């Protein structure tokens, strides 16, 4: 039984007070997100990967992916596995000819590699359930319909 929730990188936002980048991992079937505070360099690397921007010379995550591929391996999955003292932990699982190997990683580095390699991104189910938040999608049609309904209602409608 798989104890992981498959997620997508919704984007990178800046925390208002500190302007620290926050990576938002979204469970596609719901409005649940897992926010993970990350470093500026990693945020830029993830944003470039999402946009498909390729540097003229390989950056660190591009270089790591080149090494993995040159060893006839591939990234099969990255998983956010744990949180300790407000620090998230991740693992990168590589598929090789001999089998698979799992390496410890920072979540931001794992995600940067996953986006570049189109690999599966997941979060431990219990971890996701305990730490995810629900964000309302302003583009949701049901919410738009409800807002429109509220705008047209008056107190007389309740008599």
CB 65 within 8 A of CB 72: no
- Name which of 120, 136, 143, 135 is nearest 22 in CA terms: 135
- What percentage of residues in the chain have a pLDDT greater than 90? 69
Q: Which domain holds residue 80?
A: 4-158
CA distance 30 to 128: 12
pLDDT by residue (tens digit) across 47-64? 999 998 888 898 999 999
Query: What pLDDT sits at residue 55?
Result: 86
Query: What pLDDT sits at residue 89?
Result: 97
Q: Which of 10-19, 38-47, 70-79 has the lowest mean pLDDT?
A: 10-19
Here the CATH number for the domain that contains residue 56 is 3.10.690.10
CA distance 123 to 26: 10
pLDDT by residue (tens digit) across 98-156? 999 999 999 999 999 999 999 999 999 999 999 999 987 556 666 566 666 656 665 66
Q: Starting at the edge strand that comes first in sequence, how are the strands of the sheet with 21-26 ordered?
A: 8-14, 21-26, 32-37, 133-134
Query: What pLDDT sits at residue 18?
Result: 87
pTM greater than 0.85 (yes/no): no
What's the domain count of the chain? 1
Residue 1 has pLDDT above 60, yes or no: no
Query: What pLDDT sits at residue 149?
Result: 63
Query: What pLDDT sits at residue 137?
Result: 59
């Amino acid at each position: 039984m798989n104890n992981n929730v498959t997620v997508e990188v919704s984007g990178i936002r800046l925390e208002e007070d500190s302007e620290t980048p926050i990576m938002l991992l979204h469970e596609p079937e719901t409005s649940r997100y897992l926010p993970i505070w990350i470093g500026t360099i990693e945020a830029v690397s993830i944003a470039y990967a999402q946009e498909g921007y390729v540097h003229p010379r390989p950056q660190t995550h591009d270089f790591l992916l080149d090494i993995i591929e040159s060893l006839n391996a591939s990234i099969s999955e990255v998983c956010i596995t744990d949180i300790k003292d407000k620090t998230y932990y991740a693992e990168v699982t590589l598929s090789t000819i001999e089998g698979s190997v799992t390496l410890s990683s920072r979540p931001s580095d794992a995600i940067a590699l996953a986006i570049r390699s189109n690999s599966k991104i997941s979060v431990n189910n219990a971890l996701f359930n305990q730490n995810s938040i629900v964000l309302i999608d302003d583009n949701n049609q049901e919410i738009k319909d409800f807002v429109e309904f509220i705008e047209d209602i008056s107190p007389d409608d309740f008599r």
